[in-house]
């Protein structure tokens, strides 16, 4: 009998913990969202954009180039069977703009910048820097969390746009310059097919949503981690795992909303 009771106690405790974590995370998000309009924070945000955005630029650009090149190569080998290699342009452009651009950027961003944010804030917590800030009457949400949050949310859509543009140019490099697809048909059929609002803007909206989720998870995992070396490593792992799962799950929902019904 007591075993059954124990089971329910465990269930109840985990439910309370989960709801508590969601509440804490929401409070942290609220604190970060409304701490922006201060000139000093803008400077801090720009400094964080360097860490989060500029330093991610290399991996994003190289991945974009290679993914575009692989898309063109794979697409060409299939399309050439039907004599439809002219459709290579829209194939590369649509798959990168709608899916690969936002999703791969978000996954790379979670691995490259999200994990770093969690580890940084986790270590700040473990070495009691956050508590020290509070002792000095400086709100760590405002000073530490908010600039990082905004830097991530601003940087990631920009990274996704750069990824898409370089991916499409990479597709041109392989499709046109190497495999000999006509350059005119690569661009013109792409231009006839790709719609600014439907494809480009929806891709940017997607990556904006991913940015919110990834940065939120990364910051909350760091802010709420167990302040030991083990706890930090666990939190960092969880950031990458949870972010990746959230990105892929949300991607399906967003795709269904944007492109599914019509």
Partner 1 sequence: MTSRKTELLVGIFVALAIAATLILALQVANKGMSGGGETYELTARFDNIGGLKARSSVKVGGVVVGRVEKIYLHETDLIPVVVLRISEAYKNTFPDTSSLSILTSGLLGEQFIGLQPGFIFPEDIVRISEDKVCETTDKSDCPYLTDGEEIIDTKSALVLEDLIGQFLFNQGSE
| Spatial distance between the Cα atoms of 130 and 35, rounded to a whole number of angstroms | 17
- String of contacts with partner 1 for each residue 204-223, x by CB under 8 A: --------------------
Contacts of 250 (CB under 8 A, 6+ apart): 209, 210, 213
**Taking phi first (over 0 means left), then psi (-120 to 50 degrees means alpha), and beta for anything else, what does residue 126 get?**
alpha
Q: Does 153 bind partner 1 (CB under 8 A)?
A: no
Q: How far is the CB of 143 from partner 1 (least distance, A)?
A: 17
Pick the stretch among 1-9, 17-25, 66-74, 165-173 that binds partner 1 (CB under 8 A): 165-173
Contacts of 23 (CB under 8 A, 6+ apart): none
Q: Does 53 bind partner 1 (CB under 8 A)?
A: yes
What's the sign of the alpha-carbon dihedral 191, 195, 201, 202? negative
Q: What is the dihedral of CA 171, 51, 242, 30, to 10 degrees?
A: -120
CA-based end-to-end distance of the chain? 55
Q: Does 158 bind partner 1 (CB under 8 A)?
A: yes
Which residue, 112 or 231, is less far from partner 1 as judged by CB?
112
Q: Does 80 bind partner 1 (CB under 8 A)?
A: no
| Spatial distance between the Cα atoms of 125 and 199, rounded to a whole number of angstroms | 42
Q: Does 199 bind partner 1 (CB under 8 A)?
A: yes
Q: Does 258 bind partner 1 (CB under 8 A)?
A: no
Q: Does 108 bind partner 1 (CB under 8 A)?
A: no
Q: Does 54 bind partner 1 (CB under 8 A)?
A: yes
Q: How far is the CB of 169 from partner 1 (least distance, A)?
A: 8
| Spatial distance between the Cα atoms of 111 and 12, rounded to a whole number of angstroms | 33
**In the complex, which residues of this chain contact partner 1 (CB under 8 A)?**
43, 46-47, 49-50, 53-54, 57, 82-84, 93, 97, 155, 158-159, 161-162, 164-166, 168-169, 187, 190-192, 194-196, 199-200
């Amino acid at each position: 009998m007591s075993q059954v009771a124990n089971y329910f106690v465990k269930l109840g405790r985990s439910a309370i913990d989960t709801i508590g974590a969601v509440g804490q995370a929401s409070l942290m998000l609220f604190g970060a969202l409304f701490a922006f309009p201060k000139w000093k924070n803008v400077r801090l945000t720009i400094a964080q954009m360097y860490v989060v955005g500029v330093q991610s630029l290399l991996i994003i650009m190289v991945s974009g180039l290679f993914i575009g090149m692989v898309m063109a190569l794979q697409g060409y080998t299939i399309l050439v069977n039907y004599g439809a290699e002219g459709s290579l342009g829209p194939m590369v452009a649509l798959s990168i703009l709608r899916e690969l651009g936002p999703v791969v950027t978000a996954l790379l961003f979670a691995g490259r910048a999200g994990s770093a944010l969690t580890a940084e804030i986790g270590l700040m917590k473990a070495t009691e820097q956050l508590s020290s800030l509070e002792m000095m009457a400086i709100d760590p949400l405002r000073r530490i969390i908010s600039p990082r949050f905004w830097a991530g949310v601003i940087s990631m859509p920009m990274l996704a746009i750069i990824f898409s543009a370089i991916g499409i140019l990479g597709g041109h490099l392989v499709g046109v310059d190497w495999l000999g697809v006509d350059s005119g048909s690569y661009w013109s059929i792409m231009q006839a097919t790709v719609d600014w609002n439907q494809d480009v803007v929806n891709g940017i909206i997607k990556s904006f949503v991913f940015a919110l989720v990834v940065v939120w998870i990364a910051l909350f995992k760091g802010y709420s981690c167990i302040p030991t070396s083990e706890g930090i490593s666990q939190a960092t792992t969880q950031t990458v795992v949870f972010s990746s799962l959230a990105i892929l799950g949300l991607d399906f929902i967003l795709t269904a909303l944007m492109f599914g019904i019509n």
